[in-house]
Amino acid sequence: MNYYHTGQNSSFGEILIILKSFNIDKMRYRFLFLIIISFFIHSCDSDKLADGTYEITIFSTNDIHGKFFPYDYVDSLPIRYSLSAASTVINNKREEIGKERVLLIDNGDHLQGDNSVFYYNFVDTTSKHIFSEIVSWLDYDAVVVGNHDIEAGHPVYDRLYKNDGVPYIAANIINLKKGLPYFNPYKIVEKNGLRIAVIGMTNPNIKKWLSEDLWSGMEFEEILPSLQNWVDKVIKDEKPHLVIAAIHAGLGEASKYEVENPARYVAANTKGIDIVFAAHDHKTTSEKVFNGKDSVLIMAGGGRAAFLSEADVRIVVNSGEISEKYIQGNSISLQDLKPDKNFLSYFKSYYDSVSSFTNRKIGSLLNRIDSKDAFKGPSGYIDMIHNIQLANSGADISFAAPLTLNVTIEPKELNFQDLFNIYPFENQLYVIAMTGIEIKNYLEYSYSKWINKIPSESGHLLKLNTTGKGDRGKFQNPYFNFDSAAGIIYEVSTDKDDGDRISIKSLVNGEDFVLEKQYLVALSSYRANGGGDLLLKGSNLTKDVVEKRVIKKLGDIREILYEQIKRDGFVKAVPLNHWKFVPEKESLNHLNSDLKLLF
């Protein structure tokens, strides 16, 4: 019996084998045999649904990233989206149709991205975790493990799963010691007489993004074929009336399998599923994908509590068999929706604790920071991170990228909220060894995702799509992969082709930069573990090779920034001017024009 056994009956053959192992006479054996047959006949009859129509509603949240409250922690200013608004919708539906007809799932990424979860992950680790309490209060039936939940580390998610009873599911996270899923692989939920199977899957790219100490003892299987194997097993063992695949993975395309974003492909190619709830890429959809015989509903609810996914299910039973299934999806916008007063009242003490922590003064910022400047050249924002990485690592060179698109902070007394705005993610500081040519190629790849060659067909120097909100532009590629360097003096030629743009003049101390020489490079754990593919596709360094090149693993970068400001009493964020776009005037004109489209 597996540890995740959910209460289904053992097979008839298994029980007969057990009986034969006992030394009993034929009369008693026959008597017990008749009792067992009677039990199995009754069991089979009880599994059948009575004729009629069965209706349930399924809600799914995803990528909440700790956005529980409808206002910020500094000035109590209103926020447009929050889980408190989702609570309004969910509880209204429960009152309308009955709690026994509503199923609630979270599809991962709830333990990172907001002060609320940071505080209960790492600061107050003795009180009950805010997310555990929310799961209990909102009565979630199943919770999928997301990649950012693993990023919180073993002490956090193990505590929530093993001690707090959060109903985590993730069939493709394997416990290496046991050879079984680390978390429960699925959950069987009974609603309105229906047996519903919810099979959880996390994003298998976790090893590529996160340091091994965060997921030690685990292996991550690709969603396919793992999901199909679990669907087949669950249908055989549990005999559910409805099968849901809740996968923390992006939408992708129905015709193409992508490891990170396979949801549409999964819906089109996995047999036996009725609904796919997707996540991860913060996209929103409610659509149906043809599966060979019928269509499968696929839903995703954006990010940071912007939408709530709702699936209404109606099952018709005739002669004890399901004759029809009607499944309809609806993406509910939570923008400006009235928050649940009961939710806010219950969690007020949690909010107050987080607010008090957030407003602690830590030191002074001596000059203005504007993250937009990072997209057109050296900036105080990025160079402050470079300075921190170089000063605390002993490295020769630093790589860093903007982690926030549009944040401005005026000179003032900084609090913890400002640190979260400056550096919103939990990343360790790594030092790895790289050759000069690997460093150059790394930068070539970074800028190939960042800029076009001018003149360009689009007329833009920045790689933009004009598909942003309104008439705004939008970066073609994730801006958090636009790495620049410090510690070397270099130029980026905007009139040259990809792969031939970077000209490294020297180290910042005036020494020659040698392509064959090895240097120490400071960078984030996300990047060192393969995030953005800069090391793999730029420097041609596989994960195995990088692991052998790791010289140091230091603390959390935001924590290092905090300790430095607390020690010095201030921080000054000024451009280092270690690099520039050339030709300077023409490039700057293009960049300023493009930034007007973005902002």
The string of DSSP codes covering 123-188 is I--SSPPHHHHHHHHHT-SEEEPPHHHHTT-HHHHHIIIIIS---EE-TTEEETTTTEESSBSEEE
What are 266-318's pLDDT values in tens digits?
A: 999 999 999 999 999 999 999 999 999 889 999 999 999 999 999 999 999 99
Local structure of residue 211 (DSSP, 8 states): -
Whole-angstrom distance, CA of residue 591 vs CA of residue 450: 11
- Helices 83-97 and 130-138: crossing angle in degrees, nearest 10, is 20
Q: Which residue has the higher pLDDT, 47 or 373?
A: 373
Residue 23 confidence (pLDDT): 56
Asked if 207 and 155 count as a contact pair (C-beta separation under 8 A), the reply is: no
- Helices 26-47 and 12-20: crossing angle in degrees, nearest 10, is 160
Kindly state the average pLDDT of the residues 43-69.
88
Cα–Cα distances in angstroms (integers) from residue 243 to residues 143, 188, 390, 531, 581, in the given order: 16, 9, 51, 33, 54
Whole-angstrom distance, CA of residue 52 vs CA of residue 88: 31
Whole-angstrom distance, CA of residue 339 vs CA of residue 221: 38
Residue 472 confidence (pLDDT): 76
Tell me the pLDDT band of 460, cut-offs 50, 70 and 90: very high
Whole-angstrom distance, CA of residue 263 vs CA of residue 296: 11
Tell me the pLDDT band of 172, cut-offs 50, 70 and 90: very high
Would you say residue 320 has pLDDT above 60? yes
Q: Domain 47-354: give its CATH code.
A: 3.60.21.10
Apex 284 CA angle, 280 and 285, nearest 5: 115
What are 495-538's pLDDT values in tens digits?
A: 999 999 999 999 999 999 999 999 999 999 999 999 999 999 99
Residue 31 confidence (pLDDT): 59
What is the identity of the amino acid at 170? A
What is the identity of the amino acid at 356? S
Cα–Cα distances in angstroms (integers) from residue 470 to residues 184, 408, 467, 473, 479, in the given order: 43, 22, 8, 9, 20
Local structure of residue 66 (DSSP, 8 states): T
Same CATH fold assignment for domains 47-354 and 362-598: no
Whole-angstrom distance, CA of residue 79 vs CA of residue 233: 43
Would you say residue 215 has pLDDT above 80? yes
Asked if 399 and 485 count as a contact pair (C-beta separation under 8 A), the reply is: yes
Sheet arrangement for strand 570-571: 412-415, 361-365, 570-571
What are 462-480's pLDDT values in tens digits?
A: 999 876 566 678 999 999 9
* Secondary structure class of 376 (helix, strand, coil): coil
Would you say residue 39 has pLDDT above 60? no
Please give the share of the chain, as a percent, with pLDDT higher than 90: 88
Asked if 275 and 230 count as a contact pair (C-beta separation under 8 A), the reply is: no
Residue 11 confidence (pLDDT): 43
Would you say residue 430 has pLDDT above 90? yes
Other CB atoms within 10 Å distance of the CB of residue 452: 20
Residue 469 confidence (pLDDT): 62
Closest CA to 132 of 358, 344, 350: 350
List, in order, residues 6 or more apart from 216 with CB less than 8 Å away: 154
What are the residue ranges spanned by the domains of the chain?
47-354, 362-598
pTM: 0.85
Whole-angstrom distance, CA of residue 188 vs CA of residue 163: 21
Would you say residue 22 has pLDDT above 80? no
Local structure of residue 511 (DSSP, 8 states): P
Whole-angstrom distance, CA of residue 519 vs CA of residue 386: 16
Quick one: 362-598 is in which CATH superfamily? 5'-Nucleotidase, C-terminal domain (3.90.780.10)
Residue 340 confidence (pLDDT): 98
How buried is residue 27: exposed, middle or buried, by Cβ count under 10 Å (0-12/13-18/19+)? exposed
Would you say residue 577 has pLDDT above 60? yes
Closest CA to 375 of 181, 570, 598: 598
List, in order, residues 6 or more apart from 175 with CB less than 8 Å away: 181, 182, 217, 218
Closest CA to 280 of 120, 403, 151, 473: 151
Residue with tokens 């055989």: 236
Residue 103 confidence (pLDDT): 99
Whole-angstrom distance, CA of residue 468 vs CA of residue 595: 13
Tell me the pLDDT band of 10, cut-offs 50, 70 and 90: very low
Cα–Cα distances in angstroms (integers) from residue 532 to residues 105, 176, 259, 479, 553, in the given order: 30, 27, 14, 10, 19
Whole-angstrom distance, CA of residue 136 vs CA of residue 548: 44
Would you say residue 437 has pLDDT above 80? yes
Beta strands in 477-568 (DSSP E): 484-486, 488-493, 502-507, 518-524, 550-556
Q: What tokens were used for 323?
A: 């004759």
Would you say residue 544 has pLDDT above 60? yes
Would you say residue 9 has pLDDT above 70? no
Whole-angstrom distance, CA of residue 421 vs CA of residue 403: 9
Would you say residue 439 has pLDDT above 80? yes
Distance, C-alpha 306 to centroid of its chain: 15
What are 403-422's pLDDT values in tens digits?
A: 999 999 999 999 999 999 99
Residue 456 confidence (pLDDT): 84
Would you say residue 13 has pLDDT above 50? no
Residue 42 confidence (pLDDT): 44
Question: Across all residues in the chain, what is the average pLDDT?
Answer: 93
